[in-house]
Amino acid sequence: MIELGARENGYTVRLVGEIPLDETQEFGLELQDELAGIDRPFVLLLDAQALVHFEPEASVCFEEALEEACSLPLQRLAVLTVSTAHALPFYQMAGRLGLSDRYLFLDLSASPDWEAELEEWLGAAVPA
């Protein structure tokens, strides 16, 4: 399941379970509609705490959907997980999208003060 929601200064994308191709295609259209005409800086939070995995074709489609956000005033991308198992795929994706310098990965099991770190990092990107 992929859920897109608003958050202060941007959007949250919640990734749950196994993500199939058809869901990433729907998400791509939803994100495109949501970002249409946006002209203000924003941040994107990927909440992957409950992510099991993407189907192979789905991960490519998901990355393509995020590529559109990169052509807009996306300031920062943060990824939340409860395991380092997802660290490398998300880091590689951020690199391919040209976001390496605007990317934060937080393993919540290893970061006791993750909420403060996240809000400080995202909040500094786009003043309220």
For residue range 23-36, list pLDDT tens digits in order: 999 999 999 999 99
> What ranges do the domains of the chain cover?
2-125
Q: Hey, which CATH number is domain 2-125, 2.60.40.420, 3.30.750.24, 3.10.20.70, 3.20.19.10?
A: 3.30.750.24
Residues with Cβ within 8 Å of residue 13, at least 6 apart in sequence: 2, 3, 4, 5, 27, 31, 44, 45, 46, 47
The C-alpha atoms of residue 76 and residue 74 are separated, in whole angstroms, by 6
Model pLDDT, residue 128:
56
Highest mean pLDDT among 19-23, 32-36, 73-77, 85-89: 19-23
